[in-house]
Structure formats: structure tokens, C-alpha cells
Amino acid sequence: MASNNMVEQKIVETLEKNYMPYAMSVIVSRAIPEIDGLKPSHRKLLYTMYKMGLLTGEKTKSANVVGQTMKLNPHGDMAIYETLVRLTRGNNALLHPYVDSKGNFGKQYSRDMKYAAPRYTEVKLDKICEELFRDIDKNTVEFVDNYDGTLKEPVLLPCTFPSILVNANQGIAVGMASNICSFNLVEVCKTTIEYIKNEDADILEHLKAPDFPTGGQLIFNEKDMREIYETGRGSFKVRAKYRYDRKNSCIEIFEIPYTTSSEAIIDAIVELVKSNKIKDIVDVRDETDLNGLKIALDIKKSTDPDALMNKLYKLTPLQDTFSCNFNILVNGRPRVMGIKNILSEWIAFRVDCIKRQTLFDIDKKSDKLHLLLGLKKILLDIDKAVSIIRNTEEEALVVPNLMKGFDIDQVQAEFIAEIKLRNLNKEYIINRISEIENLQKEIAELKDLHGSEKKIKKVIIKQLEDVAKKFGQPRRTEIIHEEHVEEITSDHLIEDYNLKLFLTKHNYLKKIPLTSLRNSPEHKLKDDDFIMQEIETHNKADLLLFSNKQTVYKLKIFEIEDCKASSLGEYLANLLELENGEEIIYMAATDDYKGYMIFAYENGKVAKIDMGSYATKTNRRKLSNAYCGLSPVVYMDYIIEDVELVAFSSLNKVLIFNTDKINSKSTRDSQGIQVLKAKKGSTMTRIKRIDEVSFKDPDYYRTKNIPAIGCYLKDEDIEDGQIKIEL
């Protein structure tokens, strides 16, 4: 029997030991961008290209760059190449691409357009990278060893503008993600300058809205945008741009949301056409070429292109949502920040860069000054210097003898000893030491700069102004205010037409367009079934179906399938999931829930219920207590205005009354008021509208006051009175 070697482990300890290091590595070293706007994979790639001389030199094969990058980034070549592709001008994923490219790099807006292999494409750093690497050789940022300790690489790049906001960045880590939209470079620089001058500046005033390389129209909602700017979280909508070619009845879509692809849009449109939800589109084509994106929609001549596009915005990714999550690594910790916090952190980073650079310059200039001060001392007696060197027998003693002879230190003596013989003349030395005054002045200014954050911020402002002037470009994404955008509700997407509804005794419901009814008016019904009620309405109305169990079922008429007179229609027991023994006994269609429902009961009472009582804010499909259940109902009717009704009793008594005598109630199951008084245990058996009877003398049965007993039916009116409406 095998021994059981299982060891019990606490799940929390195991996760902390095995999973947490991985999770932290993904967050800190892979997926979340840092304050310089780059993830480690981007930074390693760009720095490799910088060291390869690709900022000023000619383009080189992408495969060469990928291979060199492996010295800093130990990933597979395709993973590195995919990173490179996204940074290129050819791919169109960034507002300001960092890599100038030649060859096919695919397109950000296309799902299926594949980029060429790295051996076919060529790259170099784009000119804007001058600003990413400015003064990197002057100790502006820290350097660390690469993975095998053979090279040094920067921890961050000393970007002279807030590139974190200028180029879009998306990353999914473990337990967190980052999604940063891009903003216009000029707007970002101006906003940063205003923020440096005044920390209470209104960011929205200067940073109008996000801007995407794919253009489109951003639907601007000030409240939502302020929330994004303040918290770093929120979302906004971007929609495609189109033009209409009237001559060819063709809609041309030429800019789409950044978050989607042309193929996804075409697939969605094709699906809508196939499922018959949109009938106006004749053909869909992808006409993207070297001039850029274009999706062409051939439409019927009678179609309103703007109305159709509004439908497509609602039903396809032609309008899409960008969800912001400004999660950025600051000093190794992920933080979700609003725009002001991001700018504040970036400014602190830039202040540190400039301080480090200033110290570097001070050290370099101080070293030079020190050498020149030594040189100045030998100017007093050049012959003495020559004599010391000539009369020193051992080479190793030249420097110590110079130190002794002129009271200078070793560094200065080394410098003097290295001067060429031809330069040991008065003119050369005077020219060199004339720099001393300038150097002293420059060092004083640099020390002054290093000690003053105010002056450092002025330098930052100057650099931002230069970047905006040099690399700024107009907005690509147009801003349209929400109030100028038609709100597309489901109503806009429903085709409206006139139709008739037929309810049969066996509970079949037919919805027949009037055009179809004219062509074939003959109804198909089951044996012993008959049409109990018919109403004329339209496709966008609501339908209320009242059952014999005091329940009303609500449907949108457009949800019911059209049918022909020659079909049986929808079986309501299945459609509404009716209970055993439950039947629909009346239907009413309404647009606005105006008017009243009239319910007449066997006990002689009549209730007049506001139709608004059946309107609900939520899409509830079933309302109980739709009418009173204390006495059997003998009549239901939907009226817009008050009408005259004729009540019949089991004793053949007749009463004509007006519904204006009955106060309306908002309680659906109100018992109503007594209209027909009972006599000798009589009951109310039916009610008709006044236009459904043809009494010789209607006034004989009329009453001004209710309740009333009514009058016996005259013989001359009996024939008419025998007509029954069964419920």
C-alpha cells in the first residue's frame, strides 16, 4: 500500500508565499504604466533604440531592434515586436507615436489586418523621443542593472512633458487594471503650465476632453468629465463620424471609436440586416485603403441617413464607451489618481530630474574650474613649469614636483602635465583661463537654480511651451455636447405601422398589419372558436390583457410577432404563462395611459379606474388586483372620454347612464359605486354602449341620478335587447 505523503497547508500562507510575488511582479514590473507614461517593456525597447543611435540615424530592420532589446527584456521576440508595433506611426494606436516606421504595421482600428514580420519592417525613433531622452546622460534619472548585470538601464525616462496623459495606455494586472485615455498634447502642456502657476486652476477649462488618434466624436457631459478628472474613474461615449453621398445613396463612415474595430462594426451591421432588425441597408463594404479607414453602407433611396445612423449608434459599436481607470505606479505603488494628482506627481518627478541634472552640471563645471585655476597659477611663471618638468629625472615625480612648485593638487598637476608642448605658451593659457569668470558665474546660477523650486518650475514651463510649439497638433476627436445629441431610445428603433389585434374566445391573439389584412381578410380559426374582440392600434403602443383572475398582463405590441389572417396567431396561455383555468377576457391598447377602464359587476356596481393606474415605471409584465373580484365582472371597456352606457338586469330592466356620474379612482381594485339597484334579487347581466342599441325612445330609460332601478324593456325594444356580449 502506497504511503500518503500529503502535507496540510494553510491556503492563506500558500497564496502569500507562492501567488503574491507573482501578482506583485505583474503589477510593478509589467502591466501598470509609471509616471513617465511607459510600462517596463516600452521603456526597455525605446532605451535600446536610443543606445543603437536610432534617434538621429537611419532606420534599421525591426528584427535588429527586437534582438538588441532582448539584452534588457528577456521575452520572446514576438512579444517584444508586438510592443514595438503599438508604438509605431504605422499602427496608429498613439496620438504621438514614439517610433517612425516603414512597412506594414497593421492598424489599431482593424482586427484582421496583420502586421508584417519584423524582418520586413524598418524603424527608428520618432523626433518626439528627443523629449523622452532629454539630458538622460546627465544623471537625470536613476539607472539599475539589467537582468544579468551586464548593462545598465534607466528606471524611468526623463520626459519633458506629461506623456502619461498624451498617449493611451491599457494594462491588466492581477486584481487590478489600468486604462488611461489620451489627451491632446497642446492641451496637456497648457493645463500643466496653468496648474504649476495655480494649483486651484479649473482643469476642465484647459483640458477640454480626451483626444484619440482614430478621431470620432466625443459626447461631452460636464458632470461625468469632472468626475473622471477628479477621481480617475468614470466613462464617456465616443461615436463614429460619417458623411452621406446623396448621389450614390451611400453612407461613408471614416472615423470610428478608439475602442472598437472596423470588422466588429461590419459584423454587427450584417447581423442586424440578417435578423431583419434594419431593412434600409442594401450592402456593407470595407473600403479601407492607403487613404485610411472607410466603411461604406449602400442604403435605399427613401432612407433618412441620419435616422439610420442613430439606430446604428444604438445597436452597434459605432458608438462605444471608454471606461477610465487612471491607475499609475508612483514610487512602486499603484495609485488611481485624478488629473491634478497625476500632474502633481509628474511635476515632482520633473523637479527631481532637473535638480539631478543641475547637480551633474555643477559637478562638471566645478571640475573644469578647478583645472583652470591650477592652469592660472602656472601663467605666473611658465618657465618654472617647463624647468620643473625638464629637470625631473623620473616620470613618476613630474606630478609631485609640479604640486610642490606651484602649490596645486594632484588633479591640477596631472592636467598641466598633460598639456602639449605647443600649448605651453602665454596666449593659449590666457585664452583658457579667460573662461574662469564665466564658469564661476554659471556655477553660481546653477546653484541658485538647484536651491529654488520656483526657478526649476519656470524651466519646466519653458520646456512645456517648447514641446507644445514643436510637436503640437490640432484635436482629432471632435467634442459634441450631450444636449446636441438625440437620445436614442428603443422607441427610435421600432418600426411603427397601423395594425389590428384580434382576440378569440379560445385565447388566440392575432396581430395583423392593415396592409396584410386588406390582401387576405379571411380568418383562420379553430372549430367552435370565434373572434371575441378586435381593436385597431399601431406597433409602438402598449397592450393590456385582462384575465378572469383579476390580473392584467402588459406587452409592448412590437414584441408580438406579426401574423396573417390565415394563421391561428399567438396562443396566450403559452405567451403569458397563464394559470390553469385563467383566460384573457378583454384587451386594451394605449400610447399614453390616458382615459379610463370601466368595470361593471353582477352586483350592479360600476368602477371607473384611471388608466394611469396601470402605467409602471419599470417594465413589469404582470399586475395583480387589476380590478375588483368581489362580484363577477359582466363588462369591461376602455374609454378615452365619458360615454353613455346601457345596463340590463336579469329582470329585463334597462338603465341608460353616463360615466361622468361615476368618480374615477386610482385604486385598481376599487369596488366602484352602485349604478343599477337590485330588485327581487336581480343582478346586472350585461352592458352595451349607447350606439350598440337602437331604442325607439332612449330617454325613457335614461336617468340623471344613480343608483336607479331602471325601467322594464319595452316590447318594441326587446329584439334589440336580446343581443348578448359573452365574456
Domain 344-471 -> CATH class: mainly alpha
Tens of pLDDT, residue by residue over 144-186, are 999 999 999 999 999 999 999 999 888 888 888 899 999 999 9
Q: Using CA atoms, how far apart are residues 178 and 430, in angstroms rounded to an integer?
A: 61
CATH number of 241-317: 3.30.1360.40
Q: What is the pLDDT of residue 207?
A: 95
Phi-psi region of 164 (alpha: psi -120 to 50; beta: other; left: phi over 0): alpha
Q: Using CA atoms, how far apart are residues 714 and 358, in angstroms rounded to an integer?
A: 115
The residue extents of the domains of the chain are 38-158, 241-317, 344-471, 490-721
Contact (CB, 8 A) for 251 and 270: no
Tens of pLDDT, residue by residue over 12-26, are 888 888 888 878 877
How does the average pLDDT of the chain come out, rounded?
90
Task: Please compute Rg for the chain using Cα positions.
Answer: 43
Residue 91: all three cell numbers together: 499602427
Q: What is the pLDDT of residue 725?
A: 37
**What 8-state DSSP symbol labels residue 57?**
S
Q: What is the pLDDT of residue 492?
A: 59
**pLDDT bucket at 720, cuts 50 / 70 / 90:** very low
Q: What is the pLDDT of residue 136?
A: 95
Tens of pLDDT, residue by residue over 220-269, are 999 999 999 999 999 999 999 999 998 889 999 999 999 999 999 999 99
Tens of pLDDT, residue by residue over 89-118, are 999 999 999 999 999 999 999 988 899 999
Domain 38-158 -> CATH class: alpha beta
Cβ count near 654 (within 10 Å): 23
Q: Please tell me if the domain spanning 38-158 has the same topology as the one spanning 490-721.
A: no
- Is residue 727 scored above 70 in pLDDT? no
The model's pTM: 0.74
**pLDDT bucket at 723, cuts 50 / 70 / 90:** very low
Q: What is the pLDDT of residue 237?
A: 95
Closest among 261, 300, 304, 309 to 281, alpha carbons compared: 300
Tens of pLDDT, residue by residue over 545-601, are 999 999 999 998 988 888 888 888 899 999 898 899 999 999 999 988 999 999 999
Percentage, residues of the chain above pLDDT 70: 97
Closest among 256, 241, 248 to 298, alpha carbons compared: 248
- Is residue 29 scored above 80 in pLDDT? no
Terminal CA-CA length for the chain: 80
Q: What is the pLDDT of residue 493?
A: 63
Tens of pLDDT, residue by residue over 603-630, are 999 999 999 999 887 777 889 999 999 9
Long-range contacts of 408-412 (CB under 8 A, 24+ apart): 408/374, 408/377, 409/374, 411/367, 411/370, 411/371, 411/374, 412/370, 412/371, 412/373, 412/374, 412/375, 412/377
**pLDDT bucket at 61, cuts 50 / 70 / 90:** very high
Tens of pLDDT, residue by residue over 389-443, are 888 888 888 889 889 888 899 999 888 888 887 877 888 888 888 889 999 999 9
**For domain 490-721, is the CATH number 2.120.10.90?**
yes
Q: What is the pLDDT of residue 710?
A: 86
Q: Average pLDDT for residues 348-370, to the nearest whole number? A: 95
- Which residues are known catalytic residues? 120
